[in-house]
Amino acid sequence: MKKDLYNFAIRMGDTSWILSHRLCELCSFGPFLEEDLAMTNVGLDHIGQAEEWLNYACELSDEDVDADFLAYRRKEKEYRNVQLVEYPNDDFAYVITRQFYLDVYNYLLYTKLTQSKDATFAAIAQKSLKEVKYHLRHSSNWMVRLGDGTEESHERVQNAVDDLWFYTGDLFVMPESEQNLAKEGIIPNLADLEADWEKMVLEVFEKAGINKPSYEVLASGSFDGQHTEYLGFMLCEMQYLPNKYQDAKW
């Protein structure tokens, strides 16, 4: 059970941590200054969430590690984040769509997690949910603005919606570790979230005039450490200093 809790804490922590890295890459790349700052804000919230989950993972771990170790010193395959958050910042439409898919997911998941039988899970969810609601409002508004803005913005956001759809199946996969937790009432059944997720996403698509992607074959495997080709490059940069100067304290 402890191992299962650890796995899920790592899953949540890594998802926020890797996404925050993508968001920090956007610093000074915003389409205007206010949005630049907004993206950093969302990124900072995700670092905060990552830290909470990783700290809890350290408590659950049999090894003597701290959150920095987990964030910076693991091998690629040991990260359990969803693949969606590895996708690069191709353009603003991709940034917003990636965020939107995850915000809807986080909103549903954290809402359920507030009822978790694990007190720490529930507490982290309670705190995170406040932030997630803001994130969701921000990304949903942009989805509608881009979908119903100009011809160009519509086309760009539709492309992003189509391309990133591939990575959304991964959000709802339930390997054994998560199934054990669901049986104990610690996490919701992730597969059950899928219908609600799609409903919320399609509501926004409708407002935005965006079409639902038509394909069904979706990526999965992040639970087992199967990642996209992008993650290795992200870790190279992120882990550069701790890898190069192993004895240093920063």
Partner 1 sequence: MDDKLKNEDPELLKEFQAKIDAEMKIEPKDYMPEAYRQHLIRQISQHAHSEVIGMQPEGNWITRCPSIRAKKILMAKIQDEGGHGLYLYSAAETLGVSRDQYLRWLHEGKAKYASVFNYSALNWADIGAIGWLVDGAAIVNQVSLQRTSYGPYSRAMVKICKEESFHQRQGYEIMVSMAQGTAEQKEMAQDALNRWWYPSLMMFGPHDGDSPRSSLAMQWKIKRETNDELRQKFIDKTVPQAEFLGLTVPDENCKFNEATGHYDWTDIDWDEFWATIKGFGPNNKRRLKHHQQVHDEGQWVREASIAYGKKKNKKEVA
Here's the x/- map for partner 1, 62-81, by CB under 8 A: it reads as -----xx--xx---------
CB 160 within 8 A of CB 92: no
Which two tokens mark 215? Answer: 């394909």
The nearer residue to partner 1, 56 or 107, going by C-beta atoms, is 56
By CB under 8 A, the count of residues binding partner 1 is 49
Q: Of the candidates 1, 2, 3, 37, which one interacts with partner 1 according to CB under 8 A?
A: 37
Q: How far is the CB of 156 from partner 1 (least distance, A)?
A: 7
How far apart, in Å, are the Cα atoms of 22 and each of 40, 60, 139, 143, 220? 10, 27, 15, 19, 20
Q: Of the candidates 2, 183, 199, 240, which one interacts with partner 1 according to CB under 8 A?
A: 240
Q: Is 238 in the site for partner 1 (CB under 8 A)?
A: yes
For tokens 């915003």, name the residue: 30
Q: Is 24 in the site for partner 1 (CB under 8 A)?
A: yes
- DSSP-derived secondary structure letter, 212: P
Rounded to whole angstroms, the maximal C-alpha distance in the chain is: 55
Q: How far apart are CA 27 and CA 230, in angstroms?
A: 19
Residues 199-218 that bind partner 1 (CB under 8 A): none
Q: Is 32 in the site for partner 1 (CB under 8 A)?
A: yes
Here's the x/- map for partner 1, 134-173, by CB under 8 A: it reads as ----------xxx-xxx-xx--x-----------------
Q: Is 28 in the site for partner 1 (CB under 8 A)?
A: yes
User: Using alpha carbons only, how large is the chain's radius of gyration in Å?
Assistant: 18
Q: How far is the CB of 249 from partner 1 (least distance, A)?
A: 6
Question: Which run of H or of E encompasses 208?
Answer: helix 190-208
Find, among 64, 50, 61, the residue nearest to 12 by Cα: 50
Which two tokens mark 76? Answer: 């690629």
Q: Is 188 in the site for partner 1 (CB under 8 A)?
A: no
CB 8 within 8 A of CB 181: yes
Q: Interface residues with partner 1 (CB under 8 A)?
A: 20-21, 24-25, 27-37, 40-41, 43-44, 47-48, 50-51, 54, 67-68, 71-72, 91-92, 144-146, 148-150, 152-153, 156, 237-238, 240-242, 245, 247-250
